[in-house]
Amino acid sequence: MKSKFLMTAAAGAFVTAGLPSTAAAEDLTLCWAAWDPANALIELSKDFESQSGHNMSFEFVPWTSFADRMLNELNSGGQLCDLMIGDSQWIGGGAENGHYVKLNDFFDANGITMDDFIPATVTGYAEWPKNTPNYYALPAFGDVVGWTYRKDWFERPELQAEFKEKYGRDLGVPASLADLKDIAEFFQGRDIDGTTVYGAAIYTERGSEGITMGVTNALYNYGFQYENPDKPYDLDGFVNSDGAVAGLEFYKALYDNATPPGSSNWYMGENIDAYRSGQVAMQMNFAFIWPGVEADENVGSGRSGYFPNPAGPAGQFAQLGGQGISVVAYSEKQDAALEYIQWFAQPEIQAKWWELGGYSALKAVVEDPGFASSQPYAQTFLDSMAIVKDFWAEPAYADLLLPMQERIHNYVIAGEGTAKEALDGLVRDWVEVFEDEGKL
């Protein structure tokens, strides 16, 4: 015990000594989305304030308007944010438009290496161009779409018996997307404890990025690819391949047959509400919600289970979420902002980050032998992070996202046209964007 205390004290002293001293305390503003992890970061940052003498302020914006608000801020060269935990897809625009400070020299000077972080998060949150050693962010919050399910319902003997009789297999964690749909349909409209419940809450939101973040979990696993792997920006036959069409049809069938009525514009918040209130047997959502699920008095404490996005005919992938932390190029307090990143990158701080509910992307944290059993969802997080794929991270990310939102929502929710027509239309839209960008 004593030695542990001494080690902690020594580590604290090392950390304090390691932080560069500054002549004057600064007021730093960190911008991020308004969600549970942001509250954990406020708590975590108190440590930085006491060590560095700087004051931290926070600007948190709800997810549905986060991109609008913050991309406006960056595009206008605003000085509101000194540090930005921007979405993974912003990295291309952040780098090419000069919004983010390139961090390579800073990392080299301070012994921070990207080899210490989960590779998918480095590629997803920090690098631009992808797969090149040019870093504009430090992986800050690992996140990925996964599934939460009502373990207590799944374990009911009468439901297990009925399911086995109907489908010839046990009611449990689905091995494939097709299995997941069967389970969702099994629960759809079922009476449980006097309440009508439904199969699954999935992402359908139209206004920001919701339905795209949801449908990709089906598209990837059925064969959708963003481009020809051998010829960048060659889209036809990859975005609208037969597999992609089948994936989109699957998502529509799931929406039509196994989701709560009225769930035509749902994203993270609505899915959480539906699950916590006992409306659905399963929910698709980013992993950040899992600590909140565990703590919930209705669905926590062992009543919920977690599983990665199930496989499809073309493999098993999951939509990457999460963000990296960057220094805003328009900030006049870049030195202090870099201090924050240096402090945040330390293994002790990352371990504390995980304890508080933040998903650390540092290997030292997630590869610790005790990590997988540290929380009921920890293993699912690790498994999910191993199968991630992300949306375009091009500078024209917003231009690419909007037509996808529109085409997919119009087909899945409004039932306009066919899946093939929707994806063919998406190819045309994206080709137009890349032509405008001079990449085609």
Partner 1 sequence: MTDSPIDRVAQRTPPGVAHKIKGLSDRTIAWIFVAPTIFLLLAVNIFPLIWTIRLSFTNYRVNRPNRDVEWVGLRNYERILNDPDIWNTMQATAHFLIWTIVLQVLIGFTLAYLINKKFKGNDLWTTIIVFPMMLSPAVVGNFWTFLYQPQIGLFNYIVTFFTGGDPADFSMIGDVHLAPWAIVIADTWMWTPFVMLICLAGLRSIPDSIYEAAECDRASKWRQFWTITIPMALPFLMLAVLFRGIENFKMFDLVVQLTGGGPGNTTTLTSIDLKREAFEKWRTGYSSAYAVILFVTVFGLASIYVKALNKVKER
CB 266 to partner 1: min, Å:
10
CB of 248 to partner 1, least distance (A): 15
Decide: 416 and 410 in contact? Cβ < 8 Å.
yes
Given a contact cutoff of 8 angstroms between Cβ atoms, the answer to whether 173 and 305 are in contact is yes
Q: Which of 439, 437, 325, 397 is nearest to 93 (CA)?
A: 397
Say how far apart CA 208 and CA 104 lie, in whole Å: 32
CB of 436 to partner 1, least distance (A): 8
| Distance of closest approach, residue 207 Cβ to partner 1, in angstroms | 4
Q: Considering the complex, state which of residue 315 and residue 415 has its C-beta at the smaller distance from partner 1.
A: 415
Q: Rounded to an integer, what distance in angstroms lies between the CA atom of residue 104 and that of residue 413? A: 44
Nearer to partner 1, 70 or 362 (CB): 70
Please, what is the minimum distance in Å from the beta carbon of residue 255 to partner 1? 10
Enumerate residues 6+ apart whose C-beta is below 8 A from 76. Answer: none
**Closer CB to partner 1, 335 or 436, in the complex:** 436
335 or 416, CB closer to partner 1? 416
Residues 6 or more apart whose CB falls under 8 angstroms from that of 429 comprise 403, 404, 407
Residue 438, Ramachandran bin (φ over 0: left; ψ between -120 and 50: alpha; else beta) = left
Distance CA 303, CA 309 (A): 19
Judged by beta carbon, residue 130 or residue 206, the one nearer partner 1 is 206
Phi, psi of 181 (to 5 degrees): -65, -40
Please give the residue ranges that form the binding site for partner 1 (CB under 8 A): 68, 71-72, 75, 97, 196, 205-207, 260-265, 279, 398-399, 402, 406, 409-410, 413-416
- Nearer of residues 234 and 406 to partner 1, judged by Cβ: 406
**Smallest separation, CB 99 to partner 1 (Å):** 11
What is the amino acid identity at position 180? L
Bridge partners (DSSP) listed for residue 60? 32
